[in-house]
């Protein structure tokens, strides 16, 4: 019996090796033409790849209310989505991305993760591997409803969710529905990723950088239809353009940085901060909205109340935010085609941070280069049509 098993494994390993060698030896043509990879030209897109006269893009507008629960390191959210079907197709169902399910140990991302080599494996990395197996950071969908508040049929499929509208969504029509959800935020010192929080032991404060946090409409295109491939953490998917109105409730002494433009500065910022922000709009160099001394004083307060920051962003693909009582904040205006766009930087005054190399001890010129770099990026013409 043992001899038979030994022979089986030898043959299996030999076959696997031959298969691997044959695949790696397959001819690869670096000069291969790409014609068969491009979509066939039609009214939607020309042979050059440029949009044609019949080109269309879907659109998704969001109104989101979200609370950052610092005590439990949790996000609690509710969103209303208005999805516009600009295609020529009738849609029987809608797909949404649930990127946070990347951190659900029961999902495909965790189950398909390969084991690392043990050579040079530190205890810290081993501890992080074990924590990933039990930490549940996935989206918890608590309700999906239509505009009248009636439940909508839906099913969560790993890192995606399919929603069935009451009736098929015809070309040129829109549908409004809501989603409620929550999830646990990961500690980036233990489970790294594009989102999470950092803990500062010296003053017992946190910095939250929140991305891929809300259920988002998948892209629907004339080339691929619904983009509903599973998210495994090694890439990102295109999103539809839309308008965002987002109300972020955070601890009262937190400073919130976000996509979009702050709508309620008169209720959130002090008179001094509003004056500095107004000055920054026309300044030729960054102006501190919150300086070092103020950030140090702020991180000691530990306020018990809450504040809601309201942001609005038009015609953007995505929305992210950061929140902490440790933030220094500077800003300057950028004139873009006669319109003033604000370039801003936020950073903690600690000696080091996983979310940025700039610190309170970094020379002013170096730190200000972050805001200046943002200004240069805003001024760079976009290649998009």
* Helix, strand, coil share (%) of the chain residues, nearest 5: 20, 35, 45
Measure Cα distances from 359 to 96, 351, 362, 365, 373 in Å. 38, 6, 5, 12, 17
Closest CA to 250 of 321, 200, 186, 351: 321
Q: Report residue 40's pLDDT band, with 50, 70 and 90 as the boundaries.
A: confident
CA distance 375 to 331: 10
Exposed / middle / buried, residue 362 (Cβ in 10 Å: 0-12, 13-18, 19+): middle
Q: Is the pLDDT of residue 384 over 60?
A: no
Phi, psi of 3, rounded to the nearest 5 degrees: -65, -40
- Give the helix ranges, DSSP H, for 262-359: 265-268, 271-280, 292-298
Which residue would you say has higher pLDDT here, 381 or 74?
Answer: 74
Residue keyed to tokens 């809501």 = 178
Which tens digit of pLDDT belongs to each residue from 107-119?
877 777 776 666 7
Least confident of 3-12, 234-243, 327-336: 3-12
Least confident of 88-92, 272-276, 282-286, 368-372: 368-372
CA distance 260 to 319: 8
Task: Please tell me the predicted confidence (pLDDT) of residue 365.
Answer: 40
Which tens digit of pLDDT belongs to each residue from 325-356?
999 999 999 988 888 999 999 999 764 344 44
Exposed / middle / buried, residue 246 (Cβ in 10 Å: 0-12, 13-18, 19+): buried
CA distance 324 to 185: 14
Domain ranges of the chain: 59-240
Contacts of residues 122-125 at CB distance under 8 Å and 24 or more positions apart, as own/partner, are none
Structure tokens at 323: 């929140």
State in words which class domain 59-240 has: mainly beta
Q: Is the pLDDT of residue 7 over 60?
A: no
Q: Report residue 46's pLDDT band, with 50, 70 and 90 as the boundaries.
A: confident
CA distance 8 to 19: 16
CA distance 17 to 23: 10
Measure Cα distances from 254 to 47, 150, 307 in Å. 51, 36, 8
């Amino acid at each position: 019996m043992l001899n038979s098993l030994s022979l089986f494994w030898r043959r299996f390993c030999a076959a696997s090796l031959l298969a691997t060698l044959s695949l790696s030896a397959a001819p690869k043509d670096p000069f291969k033409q790409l014609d068969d990879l491009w979509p066939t030209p039609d009214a939607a897109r020309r042979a050059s790849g440029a949009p044609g006269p019949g080109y269309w893009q879907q659109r998704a507008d969001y109104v989101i209310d979200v609370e950052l629960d610092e005590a439990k390191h949790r996000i609690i959210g509710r969103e209303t989505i208005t999805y516009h079907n600009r295609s020529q197709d009738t849609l029987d169902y809608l797909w949404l991305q649930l990127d946070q399910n990347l951190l659900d140990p029961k999902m495909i991302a965790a189950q398909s993760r390969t084991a690392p080599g043990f050579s040079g494996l530190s205890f810290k990395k081993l501890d992080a591997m074990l924590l990933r197996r039990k930490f549940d950071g996935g989206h918890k969908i608590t309700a999906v409803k239509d505009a009248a508040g009636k439940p909508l049929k839906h099913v969560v499929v790993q890192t995606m969710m399919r929603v069935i509208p009451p009736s098929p969504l015809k070309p040129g029509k829109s549908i409004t529905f809501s989603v409620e959800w929550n999830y646990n935020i990961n500690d980036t010192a233990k489970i790294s990723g594009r989102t999470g929080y950092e803990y500062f032991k010296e003053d017992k404060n946190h910095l939250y950088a929140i991305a891929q946090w809300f259920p988002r409409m998948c892209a629907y295109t004339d080339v691929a239809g619904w983009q509903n491939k599973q998210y495994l953490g090694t890439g990102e998917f295109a999103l539809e353009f839309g308008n965002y109105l987002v109300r972020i409730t955070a601890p009262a002494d937190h400073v919130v940085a976000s996509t979009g433009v702050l709508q309620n500065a008169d209720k959130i910022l002090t008179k001094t901060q509003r004056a500095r922000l107004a000055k920054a709009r026309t300044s030729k160099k960054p102006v501190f909205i919150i300086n070092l001394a103020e950030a140090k004083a702020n991180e000691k307060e530990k306020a018990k109340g809450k504040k809601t920051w309201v942001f609005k962003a038009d015609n953007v693909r995505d929305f992210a935010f950061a929140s902490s009582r440790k933030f220094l904040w500077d800003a300057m205006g950028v004139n873009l085609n006669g319109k003033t766009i604000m370039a801003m930087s936020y950073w903690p005054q600690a000696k080091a941070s996983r979310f940025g190399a700039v610190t309170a001890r970094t020379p002013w010129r170096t730190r200000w280069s972050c805001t200046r770099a943002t200004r240069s990026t805003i001024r760079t013409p976009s290649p998009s049509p």
